[in-house]
Chain A
Amino acid sequence: MKTENQKAWFFVLPVLLLVAFNALIPMMTVVNYSVQETFGNNVFFWQGLDWFQQLMRSERFHAALGRQFLFTGIILAIEIPLGVIIALAMPRKGFWVPVCLVTMALPMLIPWNVVGAMWNIFTLPDIGLLGYFMNHVLGISYNMTQSPFAAWVTIIVMDVWHWTSLVVLLSYAGLVSIPEAYYQAAKIDGASSWSVFRFIQLPKMKQVLTIAILLRFMDSFNIYTEPFVLTGGGPGNSTTLLSIDLVKIALGQFDLGPAAAMSLIYFAITLLVSWLFYTLMTRNDTR
């Protein structure tokens, strides 16, 4: 005889509700907008996939997407190796461990818009500490409201300053979990410090590094607040990353349909890249 216990649903229900309110319902709203056109007054017209088609052909979207990938690529290329190097250089025991850890964690505790505002003031050409130093002490012309290159360098340096710590802390956690015995084995073999890194530390850090790269990818790909506060996407469109463009379309132009379509594509790209990366990294998983 088969007995079915329907009580189980009661236990799953809270999670289902939470996920529904947290993700599914907002998501469906966006899907709803993405296939309709509105002129206000809550009047909607069916548009089908027009917005998606339009977006795919839009040069503006291509440019923003290109800038977004460039930004994320540079961020990962700098923050991951730098984070690993700093973690390797950090002491493993003694008085300086907590000092280093707290110092490392500090930038991450600062709210994102404050980070943007801080760097904005910091880089002001005539009164900002960095701006003044560059222009009037070193004599290098530096004004990120005029030069796209300066603007890019600034948002990258700002993100590196803000988020490398995350990579450092994760790598450090991976490093300290390696048993002393491995280092002893390497010493007995007479392995060089490069071999120790290549054959012991790196493989043992693989899992935390996978997580670090994923987190940094998602965060930097979805970055909005800091560059928005710092450059507002300028000069011109030079630092208009995908999210900044999205907000311009949605709230600046109030084009809800195209903005919704863009959100969905944006989401799909983030999800696809994260999934691809994670699958590749854990394909033949080793510990």
Chain B
Amino acid sequence: MTLELHDVSKQVASVTHIKPTTLSLKAGHFNVLLGETGAGKTSLIKMMAGLDPIASGQISINGTDVTKLSPQQRNVSLVHQFFVNYPHMTVFENIASPLKVAGMAKSEIADRVHDAAKILQLVPMLDRRPHELSGGQQQRTALARAIAKESSAVFLDEPLANLDYKLREELREQLPELFAGRGAVVVYATSEPEEALLLSGHTALMNDGRVTQFGPTAEIYRNPANLDSARVFSDPPINTATVTKTGKTVRIGEGVKWTLSGEPAGLADGDYIVGVRPIHVHPAGKAGKTRVALPGTVQVTELSGSDSSAHFRFGDESWVSLASGVHSFDIGEVHTFYLDTSNCFYFTQDGVLAAKGAG
């Protein structure tokens, strides 16, 4: 199955909310919409599901134009960030509700509900009501409803965002198998780059109402087409700084320079924006062929899990370094960080990728 958008856009009070977007989403793997809050992921999902009208363009499912069809006619499912279940129905009735509306025979409804409940480990809870379930079980009920319905497209709008850490990990691992082989186009919205990488499949990067890049997740992670995409697909945010290239030498601020080789060496002389992910700015090590020392003034340090990050100032820019293990810094000290020049992206001043890698 496929879900295709052709030049689909949306306007809210004459302001363009979603800029004309063309996407072709396929079944068989997850299609992740990755972007910050407000990037337009939910808007796009609502348009695809038929909950919101579109200003222009065409949406088709399996080649059939569904632009003017209601959500029910499109045969889609939607799982929300909030646990949305009918409060006065049991888990069974909740899972069965779309099938009942569709007028399916009782015995078939029971079969489908039990199948879905089994997959999501909800069989012992079928007679309970939503308020008697934990958050994870409530969300699994919502997922079971989507699965039992056997819809042609399933939209998961940050479905794990309100679950606690453990449950989130657990359910995220199960999700791809849940939908594998069901033939539905699965669209998964998230604001966490890590989640997109874990779910693999394809990813559409969204920024400010636009899809900035779409393709196999690993590939667009390695090759961001532009600065916006690189920004969306980096957590903590990617470091950027203006550099000047003359010949084979790149200068960043005063006194720090490195020599280019390979692809970036062929760029025309001039100013570029260099993008370096925080994991490629090391807090320790020594200068070498692909390691350039950056003396930075440490401003903020954080420990998260077994990773430590340090925010520091170098030149006019604020930089972030992220490394595994516990590193300690003194606030205000001048610490030497090491920039991995083999993992740099060079963007033009307009933000288009010019060259990458190999310092």
Interface residues of A (CB under 8 A from B): 179, 181-182, 184-185, 187-191, 195, 199-200, 203-204, 286-287
Specify which of A187, A188, A199, A287 is in contact with B89 (CB 8 Å cutoff): A199
With known contacts A190-B102, A203-B88, A185–B78 Cβ distance under 8 A:
yes
Query: How close is A111's CB to chain B, nearest CB, in angstroms?
Result: 40
Q: Is B129 in contact with chain A by the CB < 8 A criterion?
A: yes
**Is B101 a contact partner of A191 (Cβ separation < 8 A)?**
yes
Q: Do the beta carbons of A190 and B101 come within 8 Å of each other? A: yes
- Chain B 47-84 interface mask (CB, 8 Å, partner A; 1/0): 00101000000000000000000111100111010101
Given contacts A179-B82, A181-B80, A181-B82, contact A188 B88 (CB under 8 A): no
20 A-B pairs within 8 Å (CB atoms) are namely A184-B46, A184-B71, A185-B84, A185-B86, A187-B51, A187-B70, A187-B72, A188-B72, A188-B76, A188-B98, A190-B70, A190-B98, A190-B102, A191-B101, A195-B101, A199-B86, A200-B87, A203-B87, A203-B88, A204-B87
Task: Give Cα A184–Cα B50 distance, bound, in whole angstroms.
Answer: 10
- Does A189 lie within 8 Å of B84, measured CB to CB? no
| A179→B82 CA distance, assembly (Å) | 9
Residue in B84, B98, B101 whose CB lies within 8 Å of A181 = B84
Bound-state Cα–Cα, A200 to B87, Å: 7
* Distance between B233 CB and nearest chain A CB, rounded to angstroms: 28
Bound complex: CA A98 to CA B130 (Å)? 34
Chain B interface category by residue count: 20 to 34
CB distance from B223 to the nearest CB of A (A): 36
Q: Give 4 closest A-B pairs by Cβ, nearest first.
A: A190-B72, A189-B98, A203-B88, A188-B71
Given contacts A187-B71, A190-B70, A190-B73, 8 further A-B contacts (CB under 8 A): A184-B49, A184-B51, A188-B72, A189-B98, A195-B101, A199-B89, A200-B86, A203-B87
Decide: A287 and B87 in contact? CB cutoff 8 A.
yes
Task: Confirm or deny: B97 has a beta carbon within 8 angstroms of a beta carbon on chain A.
Answer: yes
The answer on a CB contact under 8 Å between B84 and A179 is: yes
Which residues B177-221 have CB closer than 8 A to chain A? none
Residues of A within 8 A of B102 (CB): 190
Closest to A188 in B: B71
Q: Hey, which chain B residues are within 8 Å of A185, CB to CB?
A: 78, 80, 84, 86
Contacts of B78 in A (CB 8 A): 184-185, 188
* A interface SS class: helix
Note all chain A residues with C-beta closer than 8 A to B80: 181, 184-185
- Find A182's partner among B46, B71, B84, B88 (CB 8 Å cutoff): B84
Which residue in chain B gives the minimum CB-CB distance to A195? B101
Min CB distance B1 to A, Å, is 17
**A-contact bits for B149-179, CB 8 A (1 contact / 0 none):** 0000000000000000000000000000000
A58–B97 CA distance with the chains assembled, in angstroms: 56
Of the candidates B51, B72, B73, the one whose C-beta lies within 8 Å of that of A189 is: B72
Q: Would you list which residues of chain B between 98 and 128 have a CB under 8 Å from chain A?
A: 98, 101-102
Q: How far is the CB of B83 from chain A (nearest CB, A)?
A: 9
In the assembly, what is the distance between CA of A23 and CA of B120, in Å? 56
Cα distance A151–B53 in the bound complex, in angstroms: 54
Give the CA-CA distance A187 to B78 in the complex, in Å.
10
Check: B131 CB closer than 8 A to any chain A CB: yes
Q: How far is the CA of A195 from the CA of B82 in the complex (A)?
A: 21
Cβ–Cβ contact A286 & B84, under 8 A: no
Chain A residues with CB under 8 A of B129: 286
Instruction: List residues of chain A with CB within 8 A of the CB of B71.
Output: 184, 187-188, 190
Least Cβ–Cβ distance between B280 and chain A, in angstroms: 40
Q: Is the CB of B98 within 8 A of A286?
A: no
Residues of B within 8 A of A184 (CB): 46, 49, 51, 71, 78, 80, 84
Contacts A185-B84, A203-B87; A287 near B101 (Cβ below 8 A): no
**A185 CA to B46 CA in the complex, in Å?**
11
Most A Cβ at <10 Å: residue of B70, B97, B102: B97
Q: Count chain B CB atoms within 10 A of each CB in A185, A190, A191 and give the residue with the most.
A: A185
Cross-chain contact of A188 among B51, B82, B87, B131 (Cβ < 8 A): B51
Instruction: Please name all residues of chain B whose beta carbon is closer than 8 Å to the beta carbon of A200 when the two chains form the complex.
Output: 86-87
Find the residue from A179, A185, A188, A204 having the highest chain B CB count within 10 A: A188
User: In the complex, what distance in Å separates the CA atom of A286 from the CA atom of B85?
Assistant: 13
Pair B51/A199 contact, Cβ less than 8 Å: no
**Using Cβ atoms and an 8 Å threshold, which residues of chain B touch A195?**
101
B residues less than 8 Å from A188 (CB atoms): 49, 51, 71-72, 76-78, 98
In the bound assembly, the distance between CA atoms of A184 and B157 in angstroms comes to 12
Rounded to whole Å, the gap between the CB of A201 and the closest CB of chain B is 11
